Amino acid sequence: MQEDNKSRATIFIFSALAFVVLYALDRLSKTMAVAKLKDSVPVKFFNDNFELSYLENQGAAWGILSGKIWLLVIFTAIVLCLLLFFYFRIPNDKHFMMLRIAMLLIISGALGNIIDRIRFRYVIDFLYFKAIDFPVFNVADCYVTIGTFMLVIGLLFVYKDSELGFWFLDSKSEE
């Protein structure tokens, strides 16, 4: 029992540190976008196929629910609570590292954007693939996208259904 508590504490500390680093990188990139890109022309790369272009997004992806900040905050908060609940139920086993990293990326990205929505009433987006006219996005969005991709791959190809029962077990049946 003491070993289990020790490994849970280690995972909690690792998770907290990883979140702080990921959030700091997201926040730093957004701060730099404001300082260097706001009220200026886009910075173009790769034959004008990619650019750094400042945008204050008051909605979600593709600007959906624009202006509905509190609806987005409430929805994101509910999803974050569910994700955190599942995250801390992942077994302390190296086999589940991919799942843990995927969830940590999704949680970090969602938290980075929800904090901005609450603080500023918008999210700073600045990465734009002009060649495919993909919506402008930010580093937190990259975390969510990469984490979701990893989660889907893990759930489809890495983990068996029988291995994922821990998400729905009550705490007494785990012991």
Looking at residue 2, its amino acid is Q
Question: How big is the chain by its Cα radius of gyration, in Å?
Answer: 18
Pairing, β 50-57 against β 43-45: antiparallel
DSSP one-letter string for 49-100:
TEEEEEEEESSSGGGTTTT-HHHHHHHHHHHHHHHHHHHTTS-SSGGGHHHH
Of all helices (H) and strands (E), which one includes residue 25? Answer: helix 2-37
**Token digits of residue 8:** 């849970």
Alpha carbon distance 107, 3 (integer Å): 26
The angle formed by the CA atoms of residues 53, 55 and 61, to the nearest 5 degrees, is: 110
Catalytic center residues: 125, 141
Alpha carbon distance 3, 160 (integer Å): 26
